Every structure is written in C-alpha cells, then in structure tokens.
C-alpha cells in the first residue's frame, strides 16, 4: 500500500495525498454497540480533494483518476468551495439498483475525453461518500469515527452523482441480513472511537461479507474451445505467498464478449515464454503472461489443495499492484 505523506496543517486540502485506510475481513463484532455499520459498496475506492473550485480524485494506489469520472465535477460547488478531503467508493448501479462491479469495468479502462463522455452516458457512476478527513483548514482524520461522520452529515452531500449514505450504530446483524436480502456484497463495521489510519489495514474496520470475493493476479490463460475457439477460454490465477506467486486455479465464467476481446488484447501484450507461478500449472496448453494485471473473482470456497472452487470473473482492478495480492 502506498503511504500518503503526513498532513501539514499549513497546507490546503489539495496539497495532501492520503493512502486510504483499509478493512480486515472478519465476523460481526461481539461488542455490537461500540460499532457503526455501513453497506459494503461493490465499486472502486476514491479519495477526493476539494479546494475552492478545484478538485482531484485519486485511486487506492494514489493515481489521479479525476478525468475518468467527469460527473463528479460539481462537488466543489456542492461544498461551497470549502476545503475538504472525502473518502468513498465510486459505484455503478444496475437496473435493479444494485452495485455492479461488472458495469463499472466500462468506466475503469478508458482513454480520451470523447470516449469517457460516451461511456459516462451509458454507465453513469455515483460517489458513495463514507468518511471526512479534512474540513476547511483542519485535518480531522484523528477525530473518532463518530465525530467525523457527524461532520460529514453536516455537509449535506446529496446530489445526482454523490451521496453520503447513513451509517447504523449497533444492530449489525440486522443490517447484514438486509444487505443479504438485497443481494449485496456485505457490510463494513467501524469502531465508533476509531481514528483514521492512512495506508493501514486495521482491525478497527471489519469487512463482513455475504459472498466470498478474492483479488487474484493473472499469470496466464487457456485458449478457448467450442464457441470460444480462437479466443480466451479461461484465466490462470495466482496469489502471493512465501513461495512467490502461487497458482490457485482457473476462471472461465463471468465474461462478456466485450471483456474477452479487451482481455485478449491486453494479455497478448504481456506474453512471456515461461510460467510466473511458483507451483505447477496442470494445463498442457497454458499460455503465460507477465503477472501485472489484478482481477477480482467471486467463489464458493477454498479447497484443501488451496485452489478456488467455482470462481466467477468480476473484473480487472487497476487500483492495486499485483505484489500486494494475497489470500484474504
């Protein structure tokens, strides 16, 4: 995780760079009343810096992604020019109102203003804001979560392409059940007294999932057969451990024709003659690539052989380096 430099109180919001705080996977906490609960949005993390009429949006790995989401350009006006740093998730919603990482893929790997505008019209996004790290000239990330959320609510951020959804104090099991009934990924629990810890994965924030998700490194692919003859058939997946990049299986479902074409082009540019995996890949016709692309898959369970059972492809992520992908 890249470390954002320390805040200097004399600088404005735009001068800062903050690596986001990350949650740890876990169960519902036992001391329920000491925690707040939020929906886990199936999108991409984004830290937004606002000062006057200017704005910058950065990804989890501190890349500037402002041009990618022009529908967020109205945030400075909505904030009345106040210097702020916001933390949240950029989300695309499907026709039933559920977050869709698959739809968001159409916005994540686009170049050129005209194409960005075209994709925006087809697949608009919403910025779901869940934390406030800076207000006016003051860094507030060391304030308790409950106080930061109160200040965030006071900003009244409710626009066509940004929202600050309410959090729920206590009764985490009820929110989790409601998220499961709606087919959502899960919830996030945050201690009410927790400070924000830039660049750290903390147990004071917990991901409680309804479905199993895992980030994987793409280390190769298998040629397609039948209806996919001449195209990509499956991706070869790995995660990092003490041995290097360990092969954890293949994924051959969850692709659209458009995705297959885009992945085929990108993998062709990364071709290499030897396997990047530290263990044996049991496929004679495997093609290998430099292990730099990170994908996300949904699956049922880890097997005793440390492979993913019934994985389904959700999309490629460009907000995390391959070297940081480990088994969750």
- Whole-Å CA distances, 265 to 1, 108, 171, 262: 28, 16, 47, 5
Residues 6+ apart with CB under 8 A from 268: none
Could you tell me which of 286, 287, 294 has the C-alpha nearest to residue 319?
294
- Alpha-carbon distance of 276 to 247, in angstroms, equals 9
- Alpha-carbon distance of 168 to 60, in angstroms, equals 25
- Report whether 116 contacts 159 (CB < 8 A): no
Three-state DSSP class for residue 158 = strand
Residues 6+ apart with CB under 8 A from 218: 235, 236, 237, 238, 267, 289, 291, 293, 294, 295, 316
- Report whether 108 contacts 162 (CB < 8 A): no
How many Cα atoms sit within 13 Å of 324 on the Cβ side? 13
CB-neighbour burial class of residue 295 (10 A; exposed 0-12, middle 13-18, buried 19+):
buried
Active site residues: 40
44: its two tokens: 């991409």
- Alpha-carbon distance of 16 to 247, in angstroms, equals 39
Strands (E) located in 164-293: 168-169, 186-191, 201-209, 212-223, 232-241, 244-251, 271-272, 287-289
89: its two tokens: 């998730």
């Amino acid at each position: 995780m890249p470390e954002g430099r320390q805040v200097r109180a004399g600088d404005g919001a735009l001068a800062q760079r903050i690596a986001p705080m990350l949650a740890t996977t876990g169960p519902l906490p036992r001391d329920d009343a000491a925690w707040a609960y939020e929906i886990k949005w199936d999108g991409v993390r984004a830290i937004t810096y606002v000062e006057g009429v200017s704005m910058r949006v950065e990804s989890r790995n501190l890349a500037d992604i402002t041009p990618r989401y022009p529908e967020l350009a109205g945030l400075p006006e909505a904030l009345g020019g106040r210097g702020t740093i916001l933390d949240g998730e950029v989300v695309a919603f499907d026709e039933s109102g559920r977050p869709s990482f698959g739809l968001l893929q159409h916005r994540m790997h686009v170049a050129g203003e005209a194409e960005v505008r075209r994709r925006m019209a087809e697949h608009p996004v919403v910025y779901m804001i869940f934390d406030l790290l800076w207000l006016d000239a003051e860094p507030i990330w060391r304030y308790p979560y409950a106080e930061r959320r109160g200040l965030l609510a006071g900003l009244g951020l409710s626009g066509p392409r940004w929202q600050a959804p309410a959090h729920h104090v206590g009764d985490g099991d009820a929110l989790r059940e409601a998220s499961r009934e709606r087919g959502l990924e899960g919830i996030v629990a945050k201690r009410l007294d927790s400070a924000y810890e830039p660049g750290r994965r903390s147990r004071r924030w917990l991901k409680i999932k309804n479905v199993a998700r895992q980030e994987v490194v793409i280390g190769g692919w298998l040629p397609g057969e039948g209806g996919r003859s001449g195209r990509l058939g499956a991706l070869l997946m790995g995660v990092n451990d003490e041995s290097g990049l360990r092969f954890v299986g293949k994924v051959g479902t969850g692709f659209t024709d458009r995705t297959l074409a885009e992945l085929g082009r990108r993998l062709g540019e990364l071709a290499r003659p030897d396997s990047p995996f530290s263990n044996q890949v049991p496929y004679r016709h495997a093609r290998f690539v430099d292990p730099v692309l990170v994908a996300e898959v949904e699956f049922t369970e880890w097997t005793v052989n440390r492979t993913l059972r019934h994985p389904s492809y959700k999309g490629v992520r460009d907000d995390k380096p391959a070297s940081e992908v480990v088994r969750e």
